[in-house]
């Protein structure tokens, strides 16, 4: 069976102790959502698939009338995760950041509007950094005390990337401002490519 990044995410979540589908979904919200968005509607079917493949074991954990399953990694599941992490066949190199496309297309705006756009993108980058620092990092830090350290590493990495982006965009804004009133001219549809 073909495993996707999402599959490995679930295996990894089980590995660090999130036992039910619901717990996985919650954990994702507090940790990987910012770089690997995963909706609840993916979690349950994917757990079924993983069970079918023998990578996770389901155990009934219903309490009273409330249906509930707990999952654990099987030896195969553990091995599949390790093998994937060790394989050097990586996904294509991409860095997708909301806002990059707008930046790329900003020539369609007047300089004043360009600055507004760049400032908005810088603000959002600052927001991203601060969200990670206040909401995600503390959780990851607590987790690191008891074992898994890399969720914290990843959160720190993300926060630093956002911070870097914010500063980069602030510098860009200053540059646009410094260039003063337009001397561009290329506002039409100049066939330049």
Per the CB < 8 A criterion, the answer to whether 96 and 161 are in contact is no
Residue 44 contacts residue 64 (beta carbons within 8 Å): no
Total residues binding its own copies (CB under 8 A): 83
Residue 77 binding: pick among DNA, its own copies, none (C-beta 5-8 Å cut-off by kind): none
The item of DNA, its own copies, none sharing an interface with residue 120, based on CB under 5 to 8 Å by kind, is its own copies
Indicate whether 111 belongs to the interface with its own copies (CB under 8 A).
no
**Judged by CB under 7 A, does residue 192 bind DNA?**
no
Q: Which of residues 64, 180, 181, 185 is near its own copies by CB under 8 A? A: 185
What angle (nearest 5°) sits at the alpha carbon of residue 34, between those of residues 30 and 39? 75
* Contact flag: residue 183 with its own copies (CB under 8 A): no
Q: Phi then psi for 148, rounded to 5 degrees?
A: -60, 120
Applying the rule CB under 7 A, the residues between 9 and 28 that interact with DNA are 20-23, 25-26
Question: What is the C-alpha separation between 118 and 167, in angstroms, rounded?
Answer: 11
Closest CA to 165 of 136, 129, 112: 129
Nearer to its own copies, 12 or 65 (CB): 12
The single residue listed with the structure tokens 């979690």 is 43
Q: How far is the CB of 51 from DNA (least distance, A)?
A: 10
- Does 5 bind DNA (CB under 7 A)? Our answer is yes
Residues 56-75 that bind DNA (CB under 7 A): 61, 63-69
- CB–CB of 8/106 below 8 Å? no
d(CA 68, CA 124): 39
* Site size toward DNA, by CB under 7 A: 27
> 17 vs 45, which CB is nearer to DNA?
45
């Amino acid at each position: 069976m073909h495993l996707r990044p999402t599959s490995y995410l679930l295996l990894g979540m089980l590995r660090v102790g999130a036992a039910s589908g619901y717990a996985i979904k919650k954990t994702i919200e507090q940790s990987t959502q910012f770089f690997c968005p995963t909706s609840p509607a993916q979690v349950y079917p994917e757990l079924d698939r993983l069970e079918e493949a023998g990578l996770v074991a389901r155990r009934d954990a219903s309490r009273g009338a409330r249906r509930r399953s707990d999952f654990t990694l099987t030896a195969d599941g553990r091995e599949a995760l390790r093998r994937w992490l060790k394989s050097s066949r990586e996904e294509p190199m991409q860095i997708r950041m909301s806002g990059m496309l707008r930046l790329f297309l900003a020539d369609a705006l007047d300089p004043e509007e360009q600055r507004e756009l760049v400032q908005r993108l810088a603000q959002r980058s600052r927001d991203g950094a601060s969200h990670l620092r206040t909401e995600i990092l503390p959780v990851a830090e607590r987790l690191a005390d008891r074992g898994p350290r890399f969720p914290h590493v990843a959160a720190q990495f993300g926060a630093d990337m956002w911070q870097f982006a914010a500063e980069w965009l602030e510098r860009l804004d200053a540059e646009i401002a410094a260039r003063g009133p337009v001397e561009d001219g290329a506002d039409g549809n100049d066939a330049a490519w």
